[in-house]
Structure formats: C-alpha cells, structure tokens
Chains A and B, each alone.
Chain A
Amino acid sequence: MTRVLAILALMLSLMAGPVRAAEEIVAGLSQNRISITAQFNGSQILIYGAVKRNEPEPQTAPLKIIVSLEGPSLPVTVRRKVKTGGIWINRDKVEVDSAPTYYAVATSAPIGTIISHTEDLRRRITIPTAIRSVGASGTVTDSGAFSEALIRLRTRDGLYKLSEGAVDIVKDTLFRATFDLPANLVEGNYRVRILLYRDKVLLDEATETIFVRRVGLERWLANTAEQQSEFYGVLSLLIAGFAGWAAAAIFRFIRS
C-alpha cells in the first residue's frame, strides 16, 4: 500500500514538471514596458525577487540563480570573406533560421558550478546553446565557425552577454540582477527567465515578459514605411524637395 502511494506521489510530481519543492521564486521587474522614442539611448532593467519557502532552508548546497533575458528571434545571414584571385570577397555564407536579436545571461556563480552540460542543452541557457543554427545552408562544411562568428560579432556589439556572478543573492532569499539594454534594440517581446538551482537540480522556474515598442512619431514612421510604402516614399521625396528649395530660398534672402 505504501509502495503504491509512493509511486503515485512520484508520478504526480513528475507530471507537475520540475520538482515542486519547498522553494519558489517570487519575481518582479523594474518595468515591463520599454518605449522606444526618438531620444531612446538604451535602457536598464532591474530584475529582482525573493525565494519563498514553506519549510526551513535545506543546508545541503548553496542556492544558485540564473537570470536570462531574450529578445525576439530573427533570421540572420553570416558571410565570410575568402581570398579569391588576390582579393578578399564575401564568398561563403550560412543562413541561420532564427537567432535571438538580444540574449543576456546573468548568474550568481560560475555557470559550470550551477548546471550540468545536459541541463544547459535541455533548457538552452548559455549563449551557444540558445542559438540553434539549424538552417545552415549546404555550401559550407564548417558551419560551427559561422555560429562562433555570429556570437563573437553580437557580443562585440553588446547584444549577447554572459555575466557570471552578476546576480546578487542576499541572505539566500533576495536576489537582483540588472541588464543594460543597448540602443539598437529590436521591437518585440523580451522573455525573462529566472531559474533556481541547488546542487545542479532545478528547483523552480519563473518567466516574465517585457514589451519593447516604438511610440509616437517613431511608431508612426515605422508603420507607415511598412504599410503605406508608396505614400511614405512620396512623403520622403516631398520633404527632401521642400528642404532643398527652402535652403536655396533662405540663402538667397540672406545674401540680398
């Protein structure tokens, strides 16, 4: 009888996903809406929270937290220059079907001490696992070099970032991490993921969404350019023509 109960309990806990342990994440964001205006020059997001417990803290291993922030994914083409007939030209290319336009991971300790490699592959936590270059088009044999280049270039531009030790944990209960979002942010929904680990075992996972949107004139221009491109084209030309005429007229007025 007790055996049957134990199996039932085990099945239930498996169905509920990660072990519904005594520790849970309660999370908050400094803002869940970022407006891109003409003055937009990057933004800082504070992700904070607490670990809620129903029983005393287990003394087995220290609490470790990973926080990731992922922007919308878009296809991207990676090209490589090759010396051909004495000149450097773009020859090889790999089309990556989908890569996050922004991806930052902050951890409370060196990543290797928090999760195993299999866990990383399963939840796609570190940068290389978060970018799946599935659609590597046929011509290239060393597509790995292209994914590395993608990561290198985006890291250089501040779009991909791994900050080990950037999550502060206070008294094994409160945590906080700040993310610097760059100015060249792509519009869309940004996914926040908070993962709670103890002894390389996932205790709880929480997700939040940050909405990044253009507003005001910026929004109107982007929408018009996309939806009424003929009107937008004519408008650009009218503005340019008028500016040219106005400049000539003003300078003539100044000189006379």
Chain B
Amino acid sequence: MQIYLPIAEVSVNIFLLVGLGGIVGLLSGLFGVGGGFLITPLLMFVGVPPGVAVATGANQVVASSVSGVLAHMRRKGVDFRMGTVLLVGGLAGSAGGIWLFNLLSRMGQIDLVIQLSYVVMLGSIGLLMMQESLRAINRARRNSAQSHRRQHSWVHGGPMKIKFRASGLYISVIPPLLVGFGVGVMSAIMGVGGGFVMVPAMIYLLGMPGKVVIGTSLFQICFVSAFTTYMHAVTNQSVDMVLAVILILGGVIGAQIGTRIGARLKAEQMRILLASLVLVVAVKLTLDLLIEPSELYSLAWGRR
C-alpha cells in the first residue's frame, strides 16, 4: 500500500516505513541510541530527499526516546541531575553546531565534513567499544578478582563537584557539560541524536553505572532532538508529519520491545552488539568514500 508524503513529495510503501521505524525504535530501546545515524540513510535510500530525511528522522527520535525514557524511569534507570547537566551542554553545543553548519555550507564543504565525521566517529567508537567489551568478557571468563574497577581518572577531579546520586558519582560538573556540548555539536552537523557517542562517553569517560546510562542518554536525546526538529521545521520547512507519524508508529512499538530485550541481556553482550552495528555502518560509509560510485552525479532541489 503506497502513501503520498506531502512534504517529501514522494509516494512510499507504508509497511516499509513502519518496518524502518520499528528497527530504529528497537535499537533505541535496546542501546539508548536515537537511531538517527540509521534512519537518515535508510530514508534517503527509499527516495526521501536528504533534508526531509534528517528533519523527520529527528522528529521520530523524539517519540521513541520519550517512550524509552518512560520505560527506563519505571526501572529507576534515569539520572535526572546528570541528564539535565548533559542537556545544558547539549543545547549550547547544538546552537554552536548550527553556526558551524552554516559556515561549512557557505564554504561548500558540508557533505565531506558530514561523511568524514561519520566515518571517524563511528569507526573509532566502534573499535573502542569492541575492544573494551571483549576484554571485559575475557576478564569475567578468567574470573579474576579485579571485577569492580572504578579508578579515579582526571575526569573525577576538577572544580564544582556535584553529587549524582542515581549514578553514585561525586564528580566535577565540567566533564558532563563537555560531553553534552560535543554531542550537541555533532547532533546539529550530522543530524543525529548522538546517543552512539554519548553512551560510550558516559560509560568510559564519566564512569556511570550501566543501569542508568541508557535512560539518562535517552532523557538528553529527547530534548536535543526536539530542539533540532523545531529548528528544521522553522528554518527549512522540511519536517514531514505524515512520514513522522508512520515512523513513530513503528518506532514506539520497537522501542518498547527493545527495552524489554535490553533488560534481559548482559551489559557486555549489549556493548558487543552495539559495537558491531556501529562498525558495520562505519565500514559501509568508508567503502562509499573509497570505491568509485556507479553514478558520479547527483541532483538536489535548488531551494533545499
């Protein structure tokens, strides 16, 4: 069954869209990532113009992250204080990112920057996580006694210490602000929620316990992606509400199922899964850059 999307101005199979939304929602509930790094390329693949894909993807991320946050809240998996600090950094970063985005667009290099930052970010984070979780699994298998490692790194020093009770942390407010800021910049430039960067940063950089990481990440993502959606709707008029509603329908269901599955998986297994997924996308994007494309030319509407 085909449906015509009024803003994207294309007709797409409705079940395909529900399925896409479902996959992204599943990832969102499972890993605490918004799934923006998957939904945008997937939508473009089915024929939605890139501008509309980015903006509508952000709108869908709002719905799936709200749903995910609520599910995690009941399991006491959201550190609101940490989330708020990350959010403050995130909104500032997002505003800075939009400024940078416009600057790069004027220089005509935005496409390259987007592609390269995807490859670099996804590649390094994927490798880092893979290595870390494999090591953790080996350690668990050898049953060595050094199970709980919470060494105090430079991150835990610094001024303006705050107690994050849900995370069991007493650290300076500056590192989480910087993490939030970095994610905000990325979100504006790459059109993603940034969960796939934030989750590892929270685990490895801030040393937050696994059970609050995902809920807190989703809490921050739902506000940052709401901000992004609104900015796109106002400046580019590129949010397609019909497309968003269909994706949301699939996404909210996927997110709920993902949260349930996530509760049953071990943290290490989950990290390996997420790491493999991130690496697959990174490899795909790298190949796109290296292999000569079959069509060298591409079209874009003059007005978008």
Contact = CB atoms under 8 A, between A and B. Distances in A.
Interface of A: 36-42, 74-83, 86-90, 93, 95-96, 146, 149-150, 152-154, 183-187, 214, 217-219, 221-222, 225-226, 229-230, 232-237, 239-241, 243-249, 251-252
B241 A232 contact: yes
A239 B67 CA distance: 12
Nearest to B230: A233
A244 B290 contact: no
A153 B299 CA distance: 8
Contacts of A235: 241
- Determine the interface band of chain B, counting residues with CB < 8 A from chain A: 35 or more
Given A81-B296, A95-B302, A221-B6, A244 B65 contact: yes
Given A40-B4, A240-B248, 17 more contacts: A75-B303, A77-B302, A82-B296, A88-B291, A88-B296, A95-B302, A96-B302, A186-B9, A217-B242, A233-B230, A237-B62, A243-B63, A243-B249, A244-B66, A244-B248, A247-B256, A251-B71
Interface in B249-304: 249, 252-253, 255-256, 288-293, 295-303
A233 B233 contact: yes
Given A233-B234, A243-B249, A248 B6 contact: no
A229 B289 contact: no
B10 interface: yes
B242 A90 contact: no
A244 B67 contact: yes
Given A77-B300, A184-B10, A89 B111 contact: yes
Given A95-B302, A153-B299, A233-B229, A244 B9 contact: no
Given A78-B299, A225-B237, A244-B63, A237 B11 contact: no
B220 interface: no
B68 to A, nearest CB: 8
Nearest to A153: B299
Interface in B219-249: 222, 226, 229-230, 232-234, 237, 239, 241-242, 244-245, 248-249
B292 A239 contact: no
27 contacts: A39-B2, A39-B4, A40-B11, A75-B301, A77-B301, A77-B302, A78-B298, A79-B300, A88-B289, A88-B292, A89-B289, A90-B111, A183-B2, A184-B10, A186-B9, A225-B233, A229-B237, A232-B233, A233-B229, A233-B232, A237-B62, A239-B244, A239-B248, A241-B63, A241-B226, A243-B63, A244-B252
A69 B191 CA distance: 38
Contacts of A78: 297-299
Contact of B4 (A41, A95, A96, A241): A41
B50 to A, nearest CB: 12
B60 interface: yes
B166 interface: no
B94 interface: no
Contacts of A217: 6, 242
Contacts of B112: 89-90
A235 B222 CA distance: 16
A187 B10 CA distance: 11
B229 A236 contact: yes
B3 interface: yes
Nearest to B231: A233
A213 to B, nearest CB: 12
Given A89-B115, A226-B237, A244-B70, A237 B6 contact: no
B29 to A, nearest CB: 10
Contacts of A245: 66-67, 70
